[in-house]
Chain A
């Protein structure tokens, strides 16, 4: 009986949390399309999420592409299939690794920062102060972040795709001794528009999730420093898990 009631309690808690998140999402989205808008804040968030994340996303993509080329070679060389490396690198990067690695890195960098900033504003009554100054916190804090996350992740992933493929190219040419012209031809030969587009759609979804979880956890943080710390952790962990889950669902949608 105790076991069953435990399951029941956990289910209710889960459903309540899901409901709260769904309401928060709906409220955030509705404020994205209703004036007043804050273009200055949107640009600021786009710079923070997009431009300032370029170094970390670029480095991640570069080394991912390099490792991918190296690992593919050690495996494919056994079957005399090393000519497929260029195709493996470009498809892996554009379809999966580019968006997922960029999403996870941005979740760690930006999602944590959003949760910490909004969480600190919550516990120091700055969110309440916004309300008393006739400014809706959803419009001022949440909507610009949701929009910026959704818009900037695809841009970051596009750059990450190029850098990742370049990383694979560098390793293949200068370490594995491939012919540059043949490598580039193989890269372009099997790459289709859907490969890049699916990655960019995934990136938009990941950007939205990262911003949503950062805002949601920050907005609902309680207590002092400990509460903000917990909100930051939850934001990163939940965004990372959701990125991996949604990646699976979208991959199924695009390629199954």
Chain B
């Protein structure tokens, strides 16, 4: 789905040897990743393998214990203050649960980054919010509703509209189809593909929904025990030659990945 050659010189996002532990538990254990400009990269992996931690580390919400994170070639691992604010303007994020502000109506949620982040006038920001809502298939009638009045699918669309409202260069998707029925999940997948293509943005998605991963990605990587154990083009995932990847994409209980299940 990429619109720009994924072989630009400087990677849009680069992780080198990123490590993160919480107490004795190593969550990321030397992750290396490179995502080119305009590319859509999907990270798959089971629950608790460190996908969200990796995403939050790139976003600056968590600080890695070791390693380097670069955005557009600029090291962002330890930046704060205005330098961090400047990098954050490049990002858009769709949270797993939507993370809509329930104290604000829908249009203010969508326009939040424009009003608070960019200082845009409310009337102008509202027009853009209505436009972005239309881009995700929602009419202006939902603009004044509270997020609590929307269904799960509609909340996800509003969250997507908010993620793209500031025209970000990089969009992160955290489990974009979790909790949705298959049809709504496919609608969200289509919207993600369309929005990322229209913006010419780079996308980094974490999911364990293989249908979603196949549909929205140019490349896929699998995270297991804190390491990216395989990465390659989406078309190659069925022939990865990696037993862990095979077990995961086919959803088999038997294989090298042992789930800790306690009965009784």
Contacts and interface: CB of A to CB of B under 8 A. Distances in A.
A131 interface: yes
Contact of B61 (A121, A131, A134): A131
A133 B113 contact: yes
A117 B101 CA distance: 11
24 contacts: A38-B116, A121-B101, A124-B97, A124-B99, A128-B59, A128-B99, A129-B93, A129-B100, A129-B101, A131-B59, A131-B60, A132-B91, A132-B92, A132-B93, A132-B172, A133-B112, A133-B113, A133-B162, A134-B88, A135-B112, A135-B113, A135-B116, A135-B117, A140-B116
B116 A128 contact: no
A134 B89 contact: yes
3 A-B pairs with the lowest CB-CB distances in the bound complex, closest first: A134-B117, A129-B99, A125-B99
B210 to A, nearest CB: 24
Interface of B: 56, 59-61, 85, 88-89, 91-93, 95-97, 99-103, 112-113, 116-119, 162, 166, 172
Contacts of A121: 101
Contact of A133 (B61, B103, B117): B117
Given A131-B60, A131-B61, A131-B88, A125 B95 contact: yes
Contacts of A134: 85, 88-89, 113, 116-118, 166
A33 to B, nearest CB: 15
Contacts of A18: none
A108 to B, nearest CB: 21
Central interface residue in A117, A121, A135, by most chain B CB within 10 Å: A135
B107 to A, nearest CB: 14
A184 B92 CA distance: 65
Contacts of B162: 133
A21 to B, nearest CB: 21
Contacts of B101: 121, 126, 129
Contact of B56 (A36, A128, A140): A128
A125 B118 CA distance: 21
A220 B91 CA distance: 25
A134 B82 CA distance: 10
A36 B116 CA distance: 9
A132 B88 contact: yes
A36 B118 CA distance: 11
A117 B95 CA distance: 19
B199 to A, nearest CB: 16
Contacts of B59: 128, 131-132
Contacts of A133: 112-113, 116-117, 162, 166
A129 B85 CA distance: 14
Contact of B99 (A38, A117, A126): A126
Contacts of A129: 93, 95, 99-101
A158 B81 CA distance: 40
